[in-house]
Each structure stands twice: as C-alpha cells, then as structure tokens.
Structure 1
Amino acid sequence: MSLLQWLDYAAVFVFAVTGALAASRAQLDIVGFLFLGCLTAVGGGTLRDMILGRDQVFWVADPGMILSACLAAVLVFFTAHLLESRLRALEWFDAMALSVAVPAGVGVALGMGQDWPIVLIMGVATGTFGGLMRDVVANEVPLILKQGQLYATAALAGAGVAVLADTAGGPQWVALLSCAAVTFALRAGSMAFGWCLPVYKSRPPRR
C-alpha cells in the first residue's frame, strides 16, 4: 500500500470518528452514525477527485474506505458514552484527521502534476470540506468558521510547507510528513494555547 493510500485510509477513519461523535451529540440512531460518519470521511476527498477529474473517486476505486468509515462509526456508537467531553474529543480527532487529509490532498495533486496554487487548494479542500459538511448537517457552527481558531490557516500553512519541500527537490514523503506536522502543530496550538489570527472588529463610521 502506498503512502497516499495510507493517508487516505487514516483520514477516512479518523474523520468518520468525528462524524460519529457529532451524531452522538445529536443523539442519532445507528443509521445516523453511519451516514454522518461516512459523509465526513469521504466528503473532502470526493470533492478533490471530482475537481481534479481523477479516473475514479478514491472510495469507488477502493470500497474498503467505506468499510473503514462504517467501522469507525459503529465503534463510536458503542463507546461515545465513555468520553467525558464528546465535543472536546471531536475537536482533537478532527485536528488529527486534518493533519492527514491535507497531505493526502497535496499528494494527489502533486502526483497529477498540478501547479502549486492547485496543490494548495486541493490540500485545504481535502482537509476541510468533510468537516464542514458534518457540521452543517449536524446543525453546528462549522469548526472552520469558529472565531479565533486556526483551521483553514493551519491547512494552508501545511500545504504550503509541502509545496516548498517538493520544489526543493526532496522526497515526496518528506514533503507530506512535513505538511502533516505543520498542520497538526498549528491546529493543536490554536486549541491548546489560543493561537489565532486577528478578527475583524467593526468601528463607528467617521463623521
């Protein structure tokens, strides 16, 4: 199994965990867990593959991805009650999923010979759209839009590091692992230490 396949499988499983945790917070039944888990797991990668025009969407080419997502959803269905804070667990699992989904998107775009702006966009899209779909369907404020947190910025920075490393001519696995490390470090730092970008503050109009 290639590094990209490992990244896709890891992203699918962990994102499915976050979707199932969202289902537990909404008190859905097992079908709801499976639906939300699978939607979150494959949402970003499906968008990536459709935009890039790949021969097959990744989970169609490898149906084991869906089985992995379903397994994660079922596990959460029977264990979510053991967690002290399902929201906090969701956020940390989401950070881990982001840090593997972004390099997965970057790796696919690089493998298809895309220019660096497309590589950046595919990295961010793969990492963020599954979680965005999850939060919209679960009627939650999307994590990507929560004020004062690094999310899309973390994904973009990680993808940018991968592009720079690839341009420098190093092995692709170094670029992808660097992408994962930077993405997770920024996202985790935002949650643990409050790292954030300045937010817009309205001002009264000048007379």
Structure 2
Amino acid sequence: MATYSERSSDTDLVTAVTENQSESTPNKRWLVLAMVVFPVHVWAYVNIFREVPAWILRLSIADLLGVIAYTLLFSLLESLLVFALLAVAGWMLKRWVGEKQVAWATAVSFITAIWFIILHLNADWIENRAIIPLAIWGITYLLILTTDIYLIHTKEKIFQFIESFAQRLSTLSALYLFIDIIGIIYIIIRNV
C-alpha cells in the first residue's frame, strides 16, 4: 500500500508530464498558419498535377520547375494573406473566440477553401453572371460556416476533434512550407 508521500510524488510526476506535454504542443499561431497553409497548398498541388502533362510537352525542365515554384510562391503569399486576415479577425473577436482560436480558424479556412474551390470549378457562374447559383453558393457558405462555428463553441467533442486534427495536420503543412522555401530558393537562383 502506497503512503501519502509516495502518492503525492506520483501526482507531482503526472503534473510534470502534463506540463511538459503542454509546452511541447505547437503554439496556436503556428497551428492557425498550418491550417491555412494546408487547403491552399492542396488545391495548388491539385492544379499543378492537373497541368503538368501539358507543361511537360511545352516546357523545358527548368521552365517547368520555375512555373511550379512560382505557383507555390503564390500559394505561400495567399496563405500568409489569409493568415493575416484570420489573425486580425481573431484579435477583434478575441473575447468571443477565446481558447478555441485554432478550431475556429481551421473551420473558417477549410470551409472557405472548399467553397472557393467550388467557385473555381464553376467559373462560368461568374462569367455568365448567374445570380441564382452564386446566391445559393453564398447562402450555403454562410449557413455551413455559421453552423460549424456554433458547433465548435457548443460541442466540446467537435472542438477537441478539430484541435487534434489541426495538430496532426501541422506536420504536413510544415512539409508544404519547406517545399515553398525550396521553390523560393529556386526562383532566386534562377533570376540572379
């Protein structure tokens, strides 16, 4: 049977492990950036891989790498712009968003990315000024975004799932950022 001092040392050990885990989790700004980077870069890679067969026929390897590098640079700049907008929105809504910053930013960035992908795939809606499909697109976007944010703030399991999802996906986002840095180096070398 454990004595009081042994039980308190076990409790201290558990507290120390928990504190170390909280220190080792990525900070919230990084997770927000990672959640913005992921959908933007996934869509960039989808578009790159869709166009590569045509580019291979027309471009040299150096030109092909340059086009890919510029695409990734644009994705990085787009990610940074969206991150800045989410940071400002998070700062303005700090009282309402509170500790659920990462889940909130993940929901906003992923839903917005999905809805703009839908718009990109249906660009003829804009070209033809199709008001009804655009209105449906906008209303469903606002409805889904509002519902998701409401669920994040009311359902603890959804909040925890999104937080866990963000932490797991941050590694892949870091890989995308690393490839972006390689692309920037290629652009600098190519233009110098």
TM range (shorter): 0.3 to 0.5
Indicate the structure whose relative CO is greater, using CA pairs within 8 Å and at least 6 residues apart.
Answer: 2
Name the TM-score, length of structure 1 as normaliser. 0.35
Structure with greater helix share of residues: 2
Name the TM-score, length of structure 2 as normaliser. 0.38
